[in-house]
Amino acid sequence: MKIAAAFNYLFGSFFNKKNIRITHSLNFLFRKREIDRNYMDHIRLATLELISAEINSKNIPGAVAELGVYKGKFARYINQYFPDRKLYLFDTFEGFSKADISTEIQQGFSSGEQNFSNTSVDEVLSRMPFREQCIIKQGYFPQSSEGIEEEFVFVSIDTDLYDPIYNGLCYFYPRLLKGGYIFIHDYNNDAYKGAKQAVEKFCAENGINKVPLPDSCGTAVLCK
């Protein structure tokens, strides 16, 4: 604690300009926690660990999922923290769709120019510690969800763009069990303003509250 305080006193102004915070976290929670120090978004990952511990301790049933997997770097931890549950991985594995990019540009949300096509199913599965639990659903969402009859206890939505985020919430929230959670990445990311718009619209339509996290891209959390 004293070392962290000293660093903040000496270098606090520099760290603040870089949006880096050195702070304490759960000093008096004594159970062992597995937080990968190589994952460079501690708040997002640590919150996932806390939520998984809560869900698992209450024996809440249900599958888990991620919509917008890219290379599977966050899905890996969903798989790790929920080792006994089916993990549905939804992605085109080809990057953004042209239709979704068109909406982004027309609404002035973003340029949609980032390229997320440099991934593959094999690359994603190679990162999974319990790959036998993973179910790949490749294709455009929500069509890629056809035939799935599941209820979910945790879902990560990380598709960046307005349409797939809104469609993801419309699909997953009604299928979310009581005690379950949804993470929506980029909620407070001004480079993808459609993310917040999609969450705000869905929450207003359904009378749902949310909790914003101060993680790297500003995740919003919905719970039931």
DSSP string computed for 96-108: --HHHHHHHHHHT
Backbone angles phi, psi at 194, to 5 degrees: -65, -25
**How many domains does one find in the chain?**
2
The answer to whether residues 80 and 189 belong to one domain is yes
pLDDT score at 186: 98
Q: Is residue 9 part of a domain?
A: yes
Residue type, 108: G
pLDDT score at 3: 62
The answer to whether residues 11 and 93 belong to one domain is no
Rounded CA-CA distance 108/130 in Å is 40
The answer to whether residues 19 and 57 belong to one domain is no
The answer to whether residues 51 and 94 belong to one domain is yes
pLDDT score at 7: 59
∠ CA 106-90-69 to the nearest 5 degrees?
Answer: 80
pLDDT score at 130: 98
The answer to whether residues 104 and 131 belong to one domain is yes
Listed as ranges, residues in the chain with pLDDT below 50 are none
pLDDT score at 66: 98
Walk across the sheet containing 152-157 and list its strands: 134-138, 87-91, 63-67, 152-157, 176-184, 220-223, 211-212
The answer to whether residues 167 and 209 belong to one domain is yes
Q: Is residue 180 part of a domain?
A: yes
pLDDT score at 183: 98
Is the distance from CB of 144 to CB of 88 less than 8 angstroms?
A: no
Q: Is residue 105 part of a domain?
A: yes
Tokens of 38: 């190589």
pLDDT digits (tens, 9 = 90+) for 52-94: 999 999 999 999 999 999 999 999 999 999 999 999 999 999 9
Q: Is residue 191 part of a domain?
A: yes
pTM for the whole thing?
0.93
The answer to whether residues 141 and 188 belong to one domain is yes
pLDDT score at 22: 74
Rounded CA-CA distance 158/168 in Å is 10
Domain that holds residue 213: 40-223
Q: Within 10 A of 177 (CB to CB), how many other CB atoms are there?
A: 15
